Chain A
Amino acid sequence: MEVLVTALICFPFLWAILPAVIHNSKRRAFTVYLGCGIVMVLSVFTAIQWYLAGGQTLDFRLPYQEAFGEIFLWGDIFLMCFITYLSYKHNRLIIAFLSIISTVVPTILEKFGPELPAGPTMRFDWLTFIMVLIIGVVGSLIGVYAVGYMHGFHIHHHKEVTDRRSFFLSMIFVFFGAMFGLVTSANLLGLYFFWEITSVTSFLLIGYTRTDEAINNSFKALWMNLLGGCGLAVAISVGIIYFNTANLYTLIAAAVKTPTKMLCLLPIAMLAFAALTKSAQFPFSGWLLGAMVAPTPSSALLHSATMVKAGVYMLIRLSPAMADNYVGNMVALIGGFTFVAASCFAITVSDGKKVLAYSTISNLGLIVACTGCGYEETIWAAVFLVIFHAVSKSMLFQCVGAIETTIGSRDVEDMQGLMSIFPKLAFILMVGIAGMFLAPFGMLISKWAALKAFIDTSSVYVSTLMVMFICFGSATTMFYWTKWMSKILGASKREKSRDLTKKNEYISMFFHAFMMISLILGFPWLSEHVLKPLSNDMFGVVKQVISYENMVIMIVLLCGVFVIPFINYLLTKGQKGKKVITYMGGANAGDNFNFVSATGDPREMDISNFYMEDLMGEKKLFTPAILISSFIIVVYLIIVVGGALQ
């Protein structure tokens, strides 16, 4: 097991060198496919190996732990110098300052501080198992997709952008390695190293095109994530100074044991703060929105399997220590607020990628809210959401990317009638959207469990607010997804044209759709054999979250969503009816798309959805949202820090 995990972490890092040095397009594509294949097989093999061995929590040290420790140390310093250099080059020295502080303090403590006892540095348990599978499978599929997409991106669409594909593809592998390291580390120093790598890599990926906008947005991502890194650094320092440990699980155990002692909560609060920045919750949502400027595969990577999942992974880890205390309340409120606010913004934008970005933030908000609650039910729901979200969001991003390539626009309004022109793309989009919000998929069971748990939360204010957040958030979520869906199914004005989507892009997307459907069908199994042991590990109790009866109803609903329309479709297929044109007050110009205008000439009719910009637009509400969420964070952090210093 030790060897496998080590291989899992090291292999992508080493393999990243290959695409970087091979410049022949075909050969490089081959190495990337091979690399992605190996990563996928390796992760699945590791996971299965562990599952078959009985699924016991494993604490272990890496082989050559000391050497790795040195690598982490020098790696941190290297990253710090790299960031300092870049921020000097682009005149943003304040960012270097963040990096220096967050690196120097833990490094000095590690080198010259008290000697830490040598304990296990890695852990492999149920949550790691799920994360490894998500990163390995979804991540490598994005890698496969990236090859085809980036080819089209440079050769056909963006000839003006310097071709740095080698760099791009190798960064993807670096990301995999960092994520594997992050989810297996128990030692915060190691975790911090991987955490910083993901920050820097995402910064590099966002800035890929090197336009002014890309550079600005990449620096925005960098400073927000480095701020989170500072939180991590504080947690490490507090751990070393007061608890004489840098082990994540020791700190969590301390906080679970004495939840009233603020000093124990301090590292948890700081880690949670870091996780909030990483998972792009308000007020730190800006960086994920800015990440849209990057080519689609990197958005898919950041939004689904990696980056943002690092944040929620951390929060799920911390959740036993957050049940009914200040940290938990902070996290829950921020999550709930983000759930509502981001879904409101998603209503008001029409850029497909932006809708997806806001929906990611909003969905993560729900997950974060679940973790902040810290009950078995909510963790169960949160893990489910993580799985469903990873698959469906990756699929949606890839699909929107492919649509953009094919029809030349990613605006939702331009996807009118996609079903009749590009049925394959439309089908994938529909499955993805359904997976995101429709009953009885992930969202529904999660909302069910979350509502129940929030009603039972002990703090009255938090409980009331959270229930309201979830009720309103689910209404707004429904709005933006349904209007997108109805756009796809509508009638089309566009002529059929050639589908420019590459074969490997389709392979990746259909594999996602297949995974999505098998996840839905395998949901009772997943709940029984993966989530139950997980909850048992974390809380020491096995609880049937959803009753048998409700499980049956959900399966009936599930069949309903697929079977009822299908049967009705078959039954009405042979139905004879007279084809008529739609009603336009008698002003039809012969078909459904044109009408006779005041001058007597036929004019094309445009139909558009509601966007409600004057009611809840970004211009109006974005700044207030940032202020409110900052206020919540500041107040709770003051309470925790103040309490700890007392």
Chain B
Amino acid sequence: MTIQTRVLFAVLYVVLTPFVIGLLDGFDRKISARMQGRRGPSVLQPFFDLKKLFEKEFLTANKMQLFLIRSYLCFIVLSGIIFFAGFDLLLVIFSLSTAAMFLILASTATHSPFASQGTSRELVQIMACEPMELLVAVGFYLATSTFTVSDIVTKSPVANIRFLPGFFVGFVFILTIKFRKSPFDISTSHHAHQEVIKGVTSEMVGKEYAMVTIAEWYENAILLGIVGLFFVSSNILTVIGAVIAILVVWFLEILIDNTSARVKWQLMLKLAWGTTIVAAGMNLFLLEIIRG
């Protein structure tokens, strides 16, 4: 990949993500509402929300939060740039978990009971997801002998999903946790009327909350990008397939969200690790055997 294409992709990522993922979020709400028999808000509602949040008066329980949240946002964007500019997949995941740490620190800086509760649960969520994220990188290495995203795309004659079905299943499973969808929306959720209030984000007000939302959009773009990575190959037309796959997975997450009740974190951890070990572990083992 030439340096120009890398820069182009990176710029496209930084510029387009808020619009694309924001729009997806709008449709998410609309579809969810229809599933529940409501009309639902306009698809542009996420953008109106953001605007309102940025215009609010800046209230804060601890001023340290603001710079930590900004660092969180910066790190997520940095990870996304590494991913979309086609660099090392494993480093993307390491960088994402470093980013998550800033959110954790921002949330605990306040000494709020609900934020702390949410933070501890958020940590459990990260711990539940991390093995699978790393294993996805391992899977791609096994299939293509490289961690580099650009090489994974350009040097695969066929889509890698053929070799990595188990990894894909495991990854889609943890996406529910990553997207904060029910049954795993235990550290924070889109609804404030539950026992943890808004969990990690309880004490984040106005523009702080807006920044966290944008950061999550950027993160979701990376995660959906990894879903797409399973389906692309050196053939340019597979991109269409990848987009379809992303939309299907995205719809599936909405469906799961609307049809399941929340579980406790203990169960979430066991389920996530169990799926990781069974689905990804088996796939890993088989691939190792095939490779000799």
Contacts and interface: CB of A to CB of B under 8 A. Distances in A.
A479 B61 CA distance: 25
B112 A489 contact: no
A477 to B, nearest CB: 10
B186 interface: no
A373 to B, nearest CB: 15
Contacts of B266: 615
Interface in B235-290: 266, 269, 273, 277, 281, 284-285, 288-289
A580 B204 CA distance: 11
Contacts of A487: 108
Given A460-B288, A575-B66, A468 B101 contact: no
Given A451-B138, A485-B101, A491-B111, A578 B67 contact: no
A471 B131 contact: yes
Contacts of A119: none
Contacts of B115: 582
A489 B101 contact: no
A474 B130 contact: yes
B74 interface: yes
A642 interface: no
B140 to A, nearest CB: 11
B58 A576 contact: yes
A21 interface: no
Contact of A609 (B88, B95, B120, B148): B120
A470 B132 CA distance: 11
A51 B265 CA distance: 54
A582 B110 contact: yes
B127 A476 contact: yes
A583 B120 contact: no
A607 B120 CA distance: 11
Nearest to A591: B111
A550 B88 contact: yes
B124 interface: yes
Contact of A489 (B108, B113, B202): B108
B167 to A, nearest CB: 12
A474 B137 CA distance: 14
A567 to B, nearest CB: 9
B51 interface: no
Contacts of A444: 94
Interface in B100-126: 101-102, 104-105, 107-116, 119-120, 123-124, 126
A568 B87 contact: no
Interface stretch (A25-33, A282-290, A534-542, A556-564): A556-564
Contacts of A572: 63, 66-67, 70
B131 A557 contact: no
B111 A607 contact: yes
Given A451-B134, A451-B138, A553-B87, A486 B60 contact: no
A440 B114 CA distance: 31
User: In terms of DSSP, what is the predominant structure of the interface of chain B?
Assistant: helix
B32 interface: no
Interface in B118-166: 119-120, 123-124, 126-132, 134-135, 137-138, 141-142, 147-148
B91 interface: yes
B130 A475 contact: yes
A578 B62 CA distance: 10
B59 A580 contact: yes
B130 A452 contact: no
A159 interface: no
B60 to A, nearest CB: 5
A186 to B, nearest CB: 38
A37 B183 CA distance: 60
Contacts of A593: 111
A427 interface: no
B134 A489 contact: no
Given A578-B59, A609-B120, A475 B142 contact: no
Contact of B130 (A471, A491, A549, A607): A471
Contacts of A467: 135, 138, 284
Contact of B120 (A485, A489, A549, A610): A610
A476 B141 CA distance: 23
A610 B186 CA distance: 14
A237 interface: no
A605 interface: yes
A605 B113 contact: yes
Contact of B74 (A485, A491, A568): A568
Interface string A229-258: 000000000000000000000000000000
Closest 3 CB pairs of A and B: A582-B112, A491-B111, A475-B130
22 contacts: A439-B97, A452-B147, A464-B285, A464-B288, A467-B284, A471-B130, A475-B127, A475-B130, A476-B127, A478-B97, A483-B123, A490-B108, A491-B109, A549-B148, A550-B88, A561-B98, A578-B59, A578-B60, A580-B60, A582-B112, A583-B114, A583-B197
Given A471-B131, A577-B59, A580-B60, 4 more contacts: A467-B284, A564-B78, A568-B71, A571-B70
